[in-house]
Structure 1
Amino acid sequence: MVAATGNADTSVGHGELIKAVDHALTTHGRALLTGPAGAGKTEVVRAVAAAAEARRESVLRLAPEAADQWIPEASAAALLASVPAAALDQLSGPQRTAIALLRREADAPRAGRDHIALRLAVVEVLRTLAARQPVLLVLDNAQWLDAESTDLLRFALRLTPPRVRVLVAECVQGGAPVGEALCGPGAPAIRVPPLGADEVAELLVRHCLPARLAGRIHQASGGNPRLALALGHSLAEAAEARDSSAHHADPLPVSGQAREVARRLLAGVPAQARRTLLLAALASRPTTSLLRRAGRPDAEAELAEAERAALVRVGEDGTVEFTAGALPTALAADAGWPERAAGHAALAAAVDDPVQAVRHRALAVDTPDQWLAAEITEAAAVCRRRGQRVLAAELGLLAAERTPSWLAGEELARLVTAAEDAGWAGRADLARRATRAVLARDASSADRVRARLAVIDAAGQALGALDETFAYAMDEAAGDPSLQAAVQLRIAWKHNLSDGDPVRSRDAAAEAGRLAALGGDQTAEAMALTVRARMGRILGDTDAEEILAEALALPAPEVPLGMRNAPQYLAVRHALFDDRLADARRQLMVLLPAVQRTGSAEDVFEVLRSLTEVELRSGRCEAASAHARRALELTIEAGLSPGPAWYVAAMAEATGGSFARAAGYARRGIQASQEEQDQVFLSRSLHALGLVELATGEAAKAVATLRRVAALEAAQQVVDPSVLRWHGELAEALIAADAPGEAAELLDRVGTVAVRLGRTGVVAALDRARGLCLSAQGEADAAVHLLEATAQRFDALQLPLERGRTLLALARVERRRRRRAPPARRCGRRPRCSPWPGRLPGRSSPGNRLPAREAARRRRPRC
């Protein structure tokens, strides 16, 4: 008898759990491990057993399968068959006979079997083993134990000595729970928790699956390792079948192994509860009251059963949430069309939102209907006004499906609009679906271009694989300056983001501006000027601010290409680069509600990202961590490109949380950015990792990491040192690695540019590194003087975090002079977070935890 195959690698994320189980066994002698199928119980049990064997304990394992529950005494026979023969030597004759009969080694006597002798024999075997060395009895898949074996083991375990410890693992779905009966009253019950999004990312990487899929897979799997891996493999196989890479916003195919895992999770639900779950799966926002109105009067009781099986969570307000997004998909897929149609019809009569009522009525039929299609189109328009772009795209596609064939023009218009809604929302799957339908029809060049642009807009950071789409869009836009300008704008973004070439990006933007002016499109003209200003800043052009002012002067009440590509947002970024943090924060607080109304998750993310950076530099680390947490949650929920969110999380943790978590986020950001060919956030995530390595004293690693940043920035022709401030950190790492001469050369070279461009904050950061360089070269007095002056400059710039780092550097220099270091007492106004958490004596790290789901619609700006 062996355990079921296909278990996930649950060493990921379960280190603390394994310790907890081991501690429970040491303290109580019994432990019960529970969790849903695929949660990783078997791997945890294996790890605990391996640790026991390493301590030279005797380990007995039993892992029945589902079929074994119907075979009397099957599990007991398997257990005793694994016992060393020497353990049977002390048994009495009747006890040996009882075991031989159980193991089918002898014929049953006419008088029948001696069940009491068998019970006592099992007790004696365990006592004999325990007399020689401690024993760990591991019962995995205990829910599949047959009744006779359960009864036998329950009796024996009541009489065994303390040196016999028992670990029982059982699934909450299927079979009969026996763990409590076997372990006895008071035994600790430990539930295997779901993996977090970060742990799912690590699991995917270990199994050679793209880390950028972690957010979607975590959402769909609910953190169940086996389901997560099954979904990851299904998505990778689907992408391979269409000859492309898996996209972070692709729909997760709940098929094959993934569907089987989901079915197993649902297997133990009674039929009535399953019908209620199906209605919840079909509803957009299920609640207990909605389900009652839809014909399930016992919804609360039936959902309580599902909640005990870890399938749903029911809130205090009656909201129903599936623990894994794949579960409602599997429920709907396994239900027949008549059952789904009846469910949608019932929900259409029960919901109180007119938009949802139209949606359910449309899904309750599968025939064209001119008037229903018109209603769906109006509902999509309502969603657009609400900022619900994903639902607008889904309804647009549904409206096109319900449009009769003789209204081909209306059908095409609905498909194009649906594609644009999907592009706005960052849903690459919906955008591709709508665009394929547009291209399969007799569409005009303009409609074809609009649809192709939607695919580009939905691709997020992953523009590197869209060269063919760009080529077709450019060809079909010929003769229409406005459309050509729109394509050129996206080409400019690609040159910056994927190609890392700001010069080509600036040139493409100039061409886009010329075409936009020719077509009379002032919004596109402003966007083109914005790209030119952004690239100019990167390249160190002194006229970048004048170009930005020109863009701001153009009328642009609506920003169809996204706020993050608008001049208003670039003005905020420039304020951040120039250390005008109060101005940047004030403008961001105005932009935040505006972008939330647009329905663009990408725009909301960008504002949250900038708010995080502003608050970090201002020393408000608690507020920064809150913004970073929201940005990461939004990325997971909306299916955005994960690299930027992991970078933001890494910076928040590095400054106001845990270095270990910061390094983990940074490494995942590096992995995702490499997968998506995102040069911009690759360098940023590397910078975050180098920062952590420098702060934790790993100077050699920091030098290697930050040199990669330097190489990327050089390849991308970045001149302005205020955009990504890695130069001072590399210099400090070089000094710590005993290369002060190389550090001095770097500081001189970058300092000249910073002074020429008037980047006072950058100059101050370079001077901090220069002070450390002077100290390393034996010029302690000059180093102290420079660091004291630098701290005063940071104070004048209202950069408390940088001032704190400078005072720490000053303290180190003064200690080298064997002088008592007073700077911490001279801080005056202190930042509300440590400049290096965990490095200050007597202070603990705040340790703000960031939680480990529509792909990015437009490019994130270069800076």
Structure 2
Amino acid sequence: MSDTGGVVGRDRELATVTAFLDALPSGASGLLLEGAAGIGKTTVWDAGVAGAAARSYIILSSRPAESEATLSFAALGDLMDGVLGQVLPQLPPPQRRALEVALLIADPVGSPPEQRAVCLAFLAVIRHLSASGPVVIAIDDLQWLDLPSAAALEFALRRLGSEPVGLLASVRIQAGGQATPVAGAGLPAGRLTRIQVGPLTVPAFEAALRASAGAWLSRLTVRRLFGASGGNPFYGLELARALNRAGGEPAPEEPLPVPADLRGVLSARLGVLPDDVQGVLLAASCLRSPTTTMLERANGPVVRSALQTAALEGVVEFEGARVRFTHPLLASAIYSGGSPDRRREAHHRLSKVVPNVEERARHLALSAEGPDEDAAAALSQAARAAAARGAPAAAAELAELAATLTPLDQAPARWRRRADAGAYLFRAGDTARARHDLEALAEEMPAGAARAEALLVLARVLLHDAGDLVAVPVLEKALVDASADRLLQARIHISLARTCGDDLLYCASHAEAGLALAQQAGDPALTGEAMVQKLYADFMVGRGLDLELGDRAMDLEREGRPPRVEERAAMWVGLCLVRADRFDEARRLLELTLQAAREEGDDSSLPNLLAHLADLECWAGNWQTAERYAAECWEAGQQVEHRAWRVMTFFARALISAQMGRLDAARAAAGEGLSVSAAAGDSYGSILLNGVLGFAELSAGNLEAAEASLSSAADLADHISLAEPAAWRFHANQAEAVIGLGDLDRAEGLVERLEGWG
């Protein structure tokens, strides 16, 4: 559909609107967009109106308001505006007179016009207009249609058959999920489609927020807003604006502010409830998944009657034993409206009854009046548990709370917990927030092993956000700080080996150093990490593929694996197997790695993994699978915002486009990716993208352009000591381009070099 580029997260709804518009020339039909207030019905409706205009359909439009529902023929006047001069002369005099009086164009003379005469006139207008092309009757907020207009609309729609006339309308869903009674639907059920416009997904909600009022918000806060708004974009934007007015993001222990214009409405609804009911609701608002049993254990026998009272007022509803607020904003209003003392009291009671270790630690922390090492330690433990179960965003929130509650005289513990929070944020995909917090932490810490730990985490973030040129100096600084800690030094050497950017021999030397230190320390898990980095680095610099070393690394990883999935042995062994054309073995390892990343909530590993899977399936000839992985890679990259490693998302998109013959798309993606890699000083990424761009130009017969890109890739490969021609498979294409240009002597040298590597 045209003119829908700004609509986020509504592909299903837009596809339905497109189908409705495309089918309209075949006969009368209707499409109702149903949903809660603020959910985005009008956005989809606007896109439908734009689509109708793009098709040159005739559009009769009205946006009735609640205040106009008692005005006679107000909406009918809107619908007829702009066409009256064309259609009035075509009407029989009685119908024309009735319509003119109804629309206040003429003064009534004698008895007022009958409703039927107005209805017949409107039907005649619709039929006249539809004779020259499809007509769309577009009404936003159909439930506010005044009754006389609704009657005219319903009368006309019931009498239409083969005429190309369509009703496109939005209509509000009442609390409880029931559609507001709609006047004017008119069409028989077989010709009327109803579609529910529901909450946005988290990625779509985040995109909508960042496009308007929330560009500055961290992903952790965006997710809190999503939970508080129920995925409703209008309420989410209002919450974001309230945060903006408040001057910043709330700390994990602080409630979200309820916007002033919503606070009045919500307060009026809640203010009629007795104090004991509000006390039970406060406890429910403190819980992620409140149940009647849990609330009774915390608040006693008053709970049942209190919840029934709240349910009668439409504040809560029940799903078995589960208690659910009819809208998440009600929970936010109740919680933010409670005094700090009452909130602490509620959390204290709940900390004694919740069965989950994470929730118990969280309630214990939120009941504390100041720094408390016992609560901080419990939160830190809960954060590790959350990360282990695949919830790094929850782990980050818990670790931040732990750092906040750590007493001031225990700085090393507070630093460690802040570093943990940064690592969890990064795994959850909140790259910008992780970098900001970790840079601030490293800046305030003195030199030593504790700072080296923080720098190690920061460097991992910088590698993805800013590239090797920024990350490597931070790791080298960490190596100096860790001079007295052999095991920490080994971890830093291994991280330097993973940079894989401007000097592969440098990476190989750090892999060897890390392996030696890990073996001396007798740490099997770290030894496995170093082994697989040595395997990969040795392979890339032309020392052969030692898969036995990879098998040993995967065995040792059972003793303890890296938290981030893309750092695990299966990932690196899988990449080597792709280069060796052992696609089935590589697929098994990379798919297992992808499954682990999804199960563990490791969003930060997804773009790289998906890019390599797209590369694998391209070379295996599975084009549809490769295209799916490339699309997923792009989406994952948009979510985590790895500014430097966006190169991999551009690579995946360019590669599949080039292989599928979409050469302009390949050029565009490769060109954007090369800009990113140049900004980050990423030679490795430039090799990948020049290789793909060269292949695209070779496919198009542009030999000079192909030779330039492929030779650039080859020169950069020599610069970083890449001596494994199977790594990215562009050397043969370079030779082909040179042959096509007639430089046979040079081509012979390239082929001889390639054979020598073989």
- TM superposition score category, shorter chain reference: 0.5 to 0.7
Return the offset for 1:20.
1.0
* Residue 190 (structure 2) aligns with: 186
Equivalence for 1:232: 211
Displacement, 1:148?
Answer: 3.3
Question: Matched residues in 2 for 1:596 and 1:157: separation?
Answer: 49
**How far 1:168 sits from its partner (Å)?**
1.8
Partners of 1:169 and 1:179 within 8 A in 2: no
1:474 has 2:477 as partner: yes
Inter-partner Cα distance in structure 2 for 1:666 and 1:233: 31
> 8 Å contact 1:351–1:357 — kept in the other structure?
yes
> How far apart, in 2, do the equivalents of 1:633 and 1:317 lie?
38
Asked whether the equivalents of residues 27 and 163 of structure 2 are also in contact (C-alpha less than 8 Å), the reply is no
Question: Structure 2 matches for 1:790-809, cutoff 5 A?
Answer: none
Aligned residue for 1:574?
Answer: 576
1:262 aligned residue (233, 236, 245): 236
Change (3 A) 1:741 1:90: closer
Partner of 2:253: none
In terms of mean alpha carbon deviation, does 659-668 or 388-397 score higher?
Answer: 659-668
Provide the secondary structure at the position in 2 that maps to 1:191: strand
Task: Trace 1:554-593 onto structure 2 (pairs within 5 A).
Answer: 557-558=559-560, 560=562, 564-565=566-567, 570-581=572-583, 584=586
Compared CA separation, residues 531 and 17, structure 1 to 2 (3 A): same
The match for 1:219 is 202
Task: Identify unmatched segments of 5+ residues in structure 1.
Answer: 196-216, 240-247, 759-863
Deviation at 1:31, TM superposition (A): 2.0
| More moved, 590-599 vs 152-161 | 590-599
SS of 2:138's partner is strand
Q: Do residues 38 (structure 1) and 40 (structure 2) align?
A: yes
Match of 1:458 among 448, 458, 461: 461
- After TM superposition, the score normalised by the length of structure 2 is 0.67
Q: Is the 8 A contact 1:72 1:148 kept in 2?
A: yes
Distance 2:102 2:234 in 1: 35
- Say whether residues 1:720 and 2:716 are aligned partners: no
Percent of aligned pairs with the same residue? 22
Structure 2 matches for 1:591-606, cutoff 5 A? Answer: none
> 3-state DSSP class of the match of 2:185?
helix
- 1:414 matched to 2:417? The reply is yes
Matched residue SS, 2:729: coil
Alpha-carbon distance in structure 2 between the residues aligned to 1:253 and 1:355: 17
- Measure, in 2, the Cα distance between the counterparts of 1:595 and 1:86: 63
RMSD: 6.2
- Secondary structure at the aligned position of 1:169 is classed as strand
Give 1:610-625 correspondences, 5 Å limit.
Answer: none
Unaligned 5+ segments in structure 2 are 240-257, 271-277
Instruction: Answer yes or no: is the 8 Å Cα contact 1:453–1:473 preserved in 2.
Output: no
1:449 aligns with 2:432: no
The one-letter code of the counterpart of 2:26 is T
Residues 390, 600 of structure 2: 8 Å contact kept: yes
Deviates more, 1:702-711 or 1:159-168: 702-711
Who is 2:80 aligned against? 80
Mark the CA change 1:347 to 1:671 in structure 2 (over 3 Å): closer, same or farther: farther
AA aligned to 1:395 is L
The one-letter amino acid of 1:573's match is L
What is the deviation of 1:468? Answer: 8.7
Aligned-pair distance for 1:9?
8.1
C-alpha offsets along residues 769-791 of structure 1, whole Å, 9 cap, x if unaligned?
xxxxxxxxxxxxxxxxxxxxxxx
Aligned-pair distance for 1:189? 0.9
Contact 1:424/1:457 (8 A) holds in 2: no
Q: Per-residue CA shift, 1:265-293, capped at 9, x if unaligned?
A: 99999979xx9999999766789998999
Query: Relative to 1, partners in 2 of residues 1:691 and 1:165: Cα closer, same or farther, differing over 3 Å?
Result: farther
Query: How much has 1:703 moved relative to structure 2?
Result: 8.7
Partner of 1:376: 379
Q: Which amino acid aligns with 2:31?
A: L
Q: Structure 1 CA distance, aligned partners of 2:389 and 2:440? A: 26
Residues 625 and 395 of structure 1, relative CA distance in 2, 3 Å threshold: same
SS at match of 1:170: strand
2:53 is the counterpart of 1:50: yes
C-alpha deviation, 1:34, in angstroms: 1.4
Aligned ranges for residues 91-490 of structure 1 at < 5 Å?
91=91, 95-106=95-106, 114-130=114-130, 135-159=135-159, 162-163=162-163, 165-173=165-173, 176=180, 178=182, 181-189=185-193, 191=195, 219-221=202-204, 228-234=207-213, 236-237=215-216, 260=234, 262=236, 332=332, 336=336, 338=338, 341=343, 352-363=355-366, 367-383=370-386, 386=389, 388-405=391-408, 407-408=410-411, 410-422=413-425, 427-428=430-431, 431-432=434-435, 435=438, 438=441, 445-459=448-462, 461-464=464-467, 467=470, 470=473, 474=477, 477-478=480-481, 480=483, 482=485, 490=495
Q: CA deviation at 1:692?
A: 8.3
2: CA distance between counterparts of 1:458 and 1:316?
44
Q: How many aligned residue pairs are there?
A: 690
Instruction: After TM superposition, give the deviation of residue 187 of structure 1 in Å.
Output: 1.8
SS in structure 2 of the partner of residue 89 of structure 1: helix
Whole-Å separation in 2 of the counterparts to 1:649 and 1:78: 47
Would you say the 8 A contact 2:351–2:359 is kept in 1? yes
Residue identity in the other structure for 1:76: L
Residue 25 (structure 2) aligns with: 26
Q: Cα distance, 1:150 vs. partner?
A: 1.8
User: 1:32: Cα distance to partner?
Assistant: 1.0
1:601 Cα deviation (Å)? 5.6
Cα deviation per residue 1:176-224 (whole Å; 9 max; x = unaligned)? 46377243432231538799xxxxxxxxxxxxxxxxxxxxx963435xx
Cα distance in 1 for residues equivalent to 2:180 and 2:418: 51
1:722: Cα distance to partner? 0.3
Shift of 1:379: 2.3
Measure the CA separation in 2 of the matches of 1:752 and 1:554.
39
1:279, 1:661 → 2: CA distance?
Answer: 57
Separation in structure 2 between the aligned mates of residue 177 and residue 710 of structure 1, nearest angstrom? 69
Aligned AA (1:538): M
Q: For residue 219 of structure 1, what is the amino acid of its counterpart?
A: V
Stretch moving more, 356-365 or 622-631: 622-631
Distance 1:339 1:145 in 2: 43
Whole-angstrom distance in 2 between the partners of 1:428 and 1:136 = 46
Say if 1:425 and 1:601, in contact at 8 Å, map to a contact too: yes
Q: Give the conservation status (yes or no) of the 8 Å contact 1:412–1:438.
A: yes
Structure 1 window deviating more from structure 2 (614-623 vs 379-388): it is 614-623
8 Å CA contact 1:527–1:566 kept in 2: the answer is yes
Contact 2:463 2:470 in 1 (8 A): no
Of structures 1 and 2, the one scoring higher in RCO (CA 8 A, sep 6+) is: 1
Q: Would the aligned equivalents of 2:60 and 2:80 in 1 still touch at CA under 8 Å?
A: no
CA 1:397–1:145: 2 relative to 1, 3 Å: same
Instruction: Within 5 Å, give how 1:652-667 maps onto structure 2.
Output: 659=660
Distance in 1 separating the partners of 2:123 and 2:490: 83
1:280 and 1:687 map into 2 onto residues whose CA distance is 58
The verdict on how the C-alpha distance between 1:78 and 1:319 changes in structure 2, with shifts beyond 3 A counting, is same
SS of 2:154's equivalent in the other structure is helix
Query: How far apart are residue 163 of structure 1 and its match?
Result: 3.2
Output the CA distance in 2 between the equivalents of 1:116 and 1:529. 86
Query: d(CA) in 1 for partners of 2:742 and 2:293?
Result: 69
CA distance in 2, matches of 1:446, 1:384: 24
1:521-561 deviations in whole A, cap 9, x for unaligned? Answer: 99878867765664554344x47869979996998854558
